[in-house]
Amino acid sequence: MDLASLQQRLSAIARARVACVGDLMLDRYVYGEVARVSPEAPIPVMVHGEETAMLGAAGNVARNAAALGAQAALAGVVGDDAQGHATARLIELEERMEGHLVPETGRRTTVKTRFVASGQQLLRLDSEDDRPVSGRWEASLVEALAAACDGAGAVLLSDYAKGAATPRIVAAAREAAAGAPVIVDPKGRSFAKYGPVALVKPNARELSLTVDMPVRNDAEAEAALAAALAACEAEAILVTRAAQGMSLAVRGGGVRHFRSEPKTVFDVTGAGDTALAAVGVALASGSGLEEAVELALLAAGVVVGKVGTAVASPAELVEAEMAARLAPAEAKLATLERAVETVARWRNEGLKVGFTNGCFDILHRGHVAYLAQARSWCDRLVVGVNGDASVRALKGPGRPVNELESRALVLGGLNGVDLVVPFDEETPLTLIEALRPEVLVKGADYTEEQVVGAAAVRAWGGEVRLAPLVEGYSTTAAIARMGARPPKGSA
């Protein structure tokens, strides 16, 4: 899709409302550090750090719908316990979300607790109650979903096999939709139990399980989709296939395969929820089904690049679409806001972030060696580059020789540079304080006391490194040599 059509879709989504119904969970993350093995057993010892909690399952679908700009109404069952109350509080904190929760006495709220060190999950601990909701609790959920579906342009049903998607609830969701499309994220061996819905969205494993057929390539996916459509009443089936993209089969039509650019995948947790939300908000805002799948592919590609149960914002979708059209060097150019978000993600992945800065007016051998040395001291290197006015203030009239865009693109073309962030101030102190690098690098022609930001970096536990310079190479000397040469063609 082009950027103009993407922005139009996002504007339309901001006026849409969707209902998210089904199993609710609380996703907890416990972060820490592992530095030794237990003497009691061959297991790692994690030193407890911070904890976070967020909405999972149908709650994560609603979070994603709200993050994309839509109004999301969430209906589901929780336990009448501390975890259920925490779930309700999280819903209240979401600006574009309303909750229609049914607290069931005697039920445990489903909680998934993930223990994470250096960006890697060590263990997941599940506390759950998967009994089908019944009796007056089921009746209350029917009322709750009816309220949630009022005015909704799409109904998104999340079936995680934790008891909320009973036959009565599924039928009530179709009825309450009042003609709006019902989209199901399925669980189990049969899609037939969802009845005549607009779309079923399994992943490849779930599709393979329901038809007992492999889904390893396009041909196998097409055969499995045909078999699944024949065995259920859904109008269409969309299968998510990880790195192979998504494949859409519409009843009475063919199969279309949707591809995406290769992504660096850090965590697939919740990517299916993101895809469900994106399809739902797109359909609710008037997009066609294929347009909705394109949006889902883009949104899922954003969240797999994050750690944990994550969401994709409109700004991130626009940025991802732009990056897909840019050369690798251009994609490394970042505003301060984007740099802060990117560095935070790297840090969550356990990566050490380094920072250096300069004018880099005419890139020469000395610069390349210096940047390579800086990159060897960290996992990701951010380079702050002075804006044109900043260079003039530092170097005087006639500088820079190359304008900011050219200098930034050349820096972005180097393998050892991971992000390029321009700044207009005379020093990069504001940039350093915003990014909080673990390693601050400057040339060995400085002392540590002369390095801007050194005191701040040391204060938060970082280190300052001085990189050796290649003798005989400097931008000023290069400019002087060019000025001393006779014009081309002179005697």
Contact 57, 158 (CB under 8 A): yes
Contact 65, 309 (CB under 8 A): no
Helix (H) or strand (E) holding 145: helix 135-149
Give the number of other Cβ atoms within 10 Å of residue 299's Cβ.
27
Partnered with residue 481 across adjacent β-strands are none
Provide the annotated active-site residues: 273
- Describe the crossing of helices 271-284 and 289-303 by its angle, rounded to 10 degrees: 150
Reference 381, options 357, 348, 349; nearest CA is: 357
Q: Cα torsion for 246, 251, 255, 257, to the nearest 10°?
A: -20
User: Radius of gyration over alpha carbons of the chain, in Å?
Assistant: 27
Residues 6 or more apart whose Cβ sits within 8 Å of residue 9: 1, 282, 285, 287, 291, 295
In angstroms, how far is the first alpha carbon of the chain from the final one?
Answer: 57
Reference 24, options 57, 62, 54; nearest CA is: 57
Q: How far is it, in rounded angstroms, from Cα 90 to Cα 145? A: 19
Q: What is the DSSP string of 325-377?
A: HS-HHHHTB--HHHHHHHHHHHHHTTPPEEEEEE--SS--HHHHHHHHHHHHT
